[in-house]
Amino acid sequence: MAGIWIFAENHKHCLELLNPGQKLAQKLGSPLAIFLWQDKELIKDYVSHGAEQIFVLPPLAADQTLEAYVPLIADLARREQPDVFLLGSSLRCKEMAARIAASLNTGLCSDCIAFNLNDSKALEMERLIFGGAAIQKVICVTSPQMATIPAGTFEAGPAQSPGEVRIVELADPLPSVVKLIDKKSNAHQSANLTEARVVVCVGRGLEKESDLGMARELAELLGAEIGCTRPISEELHWLPEDTCIGLSGIKVKPELYIGLGVSGQIQHITGIRDARIIFAINNDENAPIFDVSNYGMVGDVYKVVPQLINELKKTIK
Ligand SMILES: Cc1cc2nc3c(=O)[nH]c(=O)nc-3n(C[C@H](O)[C@H](O)[C@H](O)COP(=O)(O)OP(=O)(O)OC[C@H]3O[C@@H](n4cnc5c(N)ncnc54)[C@H](O)[C@@H]3O)c2cc1C
């Protein structure tokens, strides 16, 4: 057997990965398969996005985590010998991918941002290195060729008329030694920054936490989500870690990104490369963010942002 396999934590990410997966499947003449571990209702969506095989994982016991599926998936891979296995780049999927790759004695390209089949039908996978300053090309000579792919790297393809599907129900996994003891929701969790149309990003140009108020007011007027640079979330803890944009945070793809007092170091820019319009306000005309901005304003955020808010209020009224 062969195949292109997909596993991601959420439905949208599954649909995104099915799109490049389908293209690979066509080029390699291999079936496209996806793992389902939640709602069986999703099967029809997967099939209409090209899945030809569904591996249905049994529900997990309340104290089990996704990790419990690792031996099951690795065993299946040993039997079915997929060509390529693409997983999401969420923390849990990355952990699973590493364990599966180790169990299969194969390589893994983590946080892959693009790939291509070369003339020898090997996957050339690309990922950012040196803090986003360079792109590394990875070819894995062992099989399956595995990669984890961040959400939003690919877009879901359009739904097609569904073809035939093979549904394979997998056996209950053996309980993992890793037990889930408690779940706590993240009270501050950002409402989908990765999908926001407008992002207002706060940098160290803001002097104190209470100044976030003006960024929030601007964001509210624009229907934007608030993101930040790493020092704001990791050092100052003004905003939660999952709102940090960049190499060690999330990648955003808004129509409009507004940077307030953001210097524009490469590790941050990595996360905003796909923004359609970048608008930066910074009081240093040499700030590197201006090199990647479509619009830049050299000015003090404490003067510019209140004026912007006033103008927006007049326009929106
Ligand atoms: C391995 C690694 C991974 C990293 N990952 C990330 C990441 O994912 N995301 C990330 O953001 N960073 C990341 N960093 C950190 C990154 O290198 C920068 O340090 C960080 O992005 C800088 O944040 P900043 O722009 O808020 O602060 P600064 O670089 O301090 O910039 C503040 C800017 O505000 C301007 N300013 C000051 N006062 C005003 C004012 N009143 N009005 C207008 N402008 C003003 C200044 O001119 C300056 O340009 C990483 C670093 C490493 C080494």
207-259: per-residue pLDDT in tens?
A: 999 999 999 999 999 999 999 999 999 999 999 988 999 988 888 999 999 99
pLDDT at 215: 97
Bridge partners (DSSP) of residue 87 are: 7, 148
Across the chain, mean pLDDT equals 92
Coil, helix or strand for 130?
helix
pLDDT at 151: 85
Cα 269 to averaged position of ligand 1 atoms, centre (Å)? 10
5 with 33: CB under 8 angstroms? yes
CA dist 90 → 94, 201, 259 (Å): 6, 22, 26
Cα 268 to averaged position of ligand 1 atoms, centre (Å)? 7
Ligand 1 pocket test: pick from 282, 286, 289, 308 the residue with the most ligand atoms within 8 Å of its Cβ.
Answer: 282
What six digits make up the tokens of 145? 């060729």
CA dist 272 → 64, 99, 198, 221 (Å): 35, 30, 12, 21
pLDDT at 37: 85
The residues spanned by each domain of the chain are 4-169, 193-316
- Residue 64, CB-side half-sphere exposure with 13 Å CA sphere: 15
Q: Which range, of 17-31, 127-141, 227-241, averages the lowest pLDDT?
A: 127-141
Query: b vs e for 204-216, b when ≥16 Cβ sit within 10 Å of the residue's Cβ?
Result: ebbeeeebbebbe
Phi/psi at 125 (5° precision): -105, 140
60 with 68: CB under 8 angstroms? yes
Pick the residue whose CA is nearest to atom 30 on ligand 1. Answer: 204
Within this chain, domains 4-169 and 193-316 share the same CATH topology:
yes
Q: Which range, of 106-115, 129-138, 270-279, averages the lowest pLDDT?
A: 129-138
Ligand 1 pocket test: pick from 128, 229, 241 the residue with the most ligand atoms within 8 Å of its Cβ.
Answer: 229
Q: For 254-278, what is the mean pLDDT?
A: 95
Is pLDDT above 60 for 190? no
pLDDT at 316: 75
User: For the packed helices 91-104 and 70-80, what is the interaxial angle rounded to 10 degrees?
Assistant: 50
What band does 187 get if pLDDT is binned at 50, 70 and 90? low
pLDDT at 79: 96
Q: Which residues contact 138 (CB under 8 A, 6 or more apart)?
A: 107, 109, 112, 124, 125, 126, 127
Pick the residue whose CA is nearest to atom 43 on ligand 1. Answer: 282
At the top level of CATH, the class of 193-316 is alpha beta
294 with 301: CB under 8 angstroms? no
What band does 173 get if pLDDT is binned at 50, 70 and 90? confident
Spatial separation of the C-alpha atoms in residues 5 and 24, rounded to whole Å: 10
Q: ∠ CA(240), CA(224), CA(309), 5° rounding?
A: 110
pLDDT at 152: 81
Coil, helix or strand for 192?
coil
Bridge partners (DSSP) of residue 166 are: 53
Ligand 1 pocket test: pick from 208, 233, 247 the residue with the most ligand atoms within 8 Å of its Cβ.
Answer: 247
Is pLDDT above 90 for 128? no
At the top level of CATH, the class of 4-169 is alpha beta
Is pLDDT above 80 for 183? yes
What would the pLDDT profile of 282-298 be if each residue is shown by its tens digit? 999 999 999 999 999 99
The one-letter amino acid at 139: I
- Ligand 1 closest atom vs CA 284: 47
